Structure 1
Amino acid sequence: MSAEPIAARPQPGAVDPGRTPPIVDHGPRGQKVVALTFDADMTPSMLAALKSGQVKSYANLAILDILEERRVPATFFVTGMWAERYPDVLERIAAQDRNEIANHTYRHAAYKPNCYTLEQLPRTEMTADARRTFEVLAPFGGNQTHYFRFPGLCHDAAALTALAPLGVTVVDGDVVSGDPFATAAAPIVRAVLDRVQPGSIVVMHITEANAAFTDEALVPILEGLAQRGLRPVKLSELLASVP
């Protein structure tokens, strides 16, 4: 892995530190391109399930196989804990120039009250939590970014203020696949293809044990995008013309 610090590379989507982060949920609608994003969640309870043998894996390698075989660009929002648990998988992601790496917090705790069933992160720890993840991700190299995604897409003014010193761009998404809750591939495919349009940011997961059908849904999704004339691109390419 490269030891180059993250601050030494260009940061797609970065803004001036101290400014309240911009929030984007889609790119320009004028071009027939979309961004496929995959969240790599990891919480202390997920890590404990792995260590106890209760869960086999939170890294769906079949997704990477499909993306690599079809040469499809993707952006991965990675928690620091996931990177530490799966360094070999993150190295594989970083080695592909078609991929980008973004920040999904350190331990996938909520930055806003009442965000699903997620643990609540104290306000005083939010800045350090996000900064720690950038520090964990930096040595992996690849196409590092300053894009940031909140767990559960939950954020408020206090959370945004906490991130202001880090110069991030907050990325939500206008097409939420629902893959963590799916019991089959078909609902994931429908959720994506029924909502997708030019400029969409699609939210999926690479966490195999709690998003078990994402790999099975991915090929029909890619074929459906092609039928609609929609081409997957890197998130930075999709957002290049966003102010």
Structure 2
Amino acid sequence: MIVIRRRTIAIFFVSLVLCLMMFLTVNGKIIEVSAPVREIPIYSVENSEGKVSITFDCAWGAQDIPEILRILKEKNVKATFFVVGEWARRNPEETKMIAEQGHELANHSENHFKMSVLSKDKIKKEIMDCSKTIEEISGVKTDLFRAPYGDYNDTVISIARQNGYFTIQWSIDSLDWKPGITQEAILERVSKVSSGDILLFHNDTSHTAKILGKVIDIIKEKGLKPVPVSELILKDNFEIRHDGRQIPAGKKQ
């Protein structure tokens, strides 16, 4: 009985201390202390122009890159390719081809590690080494970063931003990487696209190159315009909503 009471008292005091930690007393006045703001990447973008972005994560093979680029050219669409530095070094011709055909190369880390478990120094190295690799191979500089597996935390986003990178996620995941998924299921997911969405695809999958033309047709039939991510996002005077929607600064939530 005494043990239970002591535990109850201990829990009470811990709760009280946590509550008091949310306030400071300045000149006799109690001032609320705001909790740290959570870092959020860009999942989608508020816009009234019908812009969306088709993105590809490139980490494994590269055999389908020429076919993907052929379809994009045929449909007159520019996309963004988030490439792993190690992938770019293994596939320099495909990397150059992406840039030469007017598409956007972006940073997907140097080695495709889970970023949230790395040290601060290692996070920075993964980002900076990838950009260096991309530039050495293609001559292209990038300020867009996507964490492998979509795995991020406050530290990852903060380090990326401090080094000049916008961290990009996605609002529509095609799940083209998922074993057993059908072309119909992918197209059904894509059919939900709306203005400001960022669509996630991968190269080196069973279906992506085969259905890319239909994906683009769905987007255009809805009156939307595919553009590279750098043409979709706001580069300054913006806020990121709790759901990852990037909006102009000061706009009512």
Superposition TM-score tier, normalisation by shorter sequence: 0.7 to 0.9
- Please name the residue that 1:40 is paired with: 58
Flag the structure with more relative contact order, 1 or 2, with Cα contacts below 8 A and sequence separation at least 6: 1
Runs of 4+ in 1 over 6 A off after TM superposition: none
Deviation at 1:190? 1.1
Q: Answer whether contact 1:74 1:234 (CA < 8 A) is retained.
A: yes
Deviation at 1:94? 0.8
CA 1:26–1:34 in 2, change beyond 3 Å: closer, same or farther?
Answer: same
**Alpha-carbon separation, structure 1, partners of 2:62 and 2:77:** 21
TM-superposition CA deviations, 1:185-240 (whole Å, max 9, x none): 2211111112x10011111111x1xx221112211111111211111112111114
- Please name the residue that 2:112 is paired with: 108
Deviation at 1:125? 1.1
Confirm or deny that 1:154 pairs with 2:151. yes
Normalised by the length of structure 2, the TM-score is 0.72
**Alpha-carbon separation, structure 1, partners of 2:228 and 2:123:** 27
TM-superposition CA deviations, 1:102-138 (whole Å, max 9, x none): 100011110125xxxxxxx444411111110011001
Give the one of 176, 180, 200 matched to 1:179: 176
**Alpha-carbon separation, structure 1, partners of 2:64 and 2:196:** 26
CA 1:69–1:112 in 2, change beyond 3 Å: closer, same or farther?
Answer: same
Give the one of 230, 233, 240 matched to 1:236: 230
**Alpha-carbon separation, structure 2, partners of 1:235 and 1:78:** 14
- Please name the residue that 2:215 is paired with: 221
Confirm or deny that 1:212 pairs with 2:230. no
- Please name the residue that 1:188 is paired with: 186
Q: Answer whether contact 1:21 1:170 (CA < 8 A) is retained.
A: no
Q: Answer whether contact 1:148 1:170 (CA < 8 A) is retained.
A: yes
- Please name the residue that 2:26 is paired with: none
* Aligned AA (1:190): E
Identity percentage of aligned residues: 26
- Please name the residue that 1:4 is paired with: none
Worse overlay, 20-29 or 135-144: 20-29
**Corresponding residue SS for 2:81:** strand
Number of residues of Structure 1 aligned to a counterpart in Structure 2: 198
- Please name the residue that 1:95 is paired with: 100
* Aligned AA (1:110): K
Deviation at 1:23? 2.1
Unpaired runs of 5+ residues, structure 1, are 1-19, 43-56, 114-120
Normalised by the length of structure 1, the TM-score is 0.75
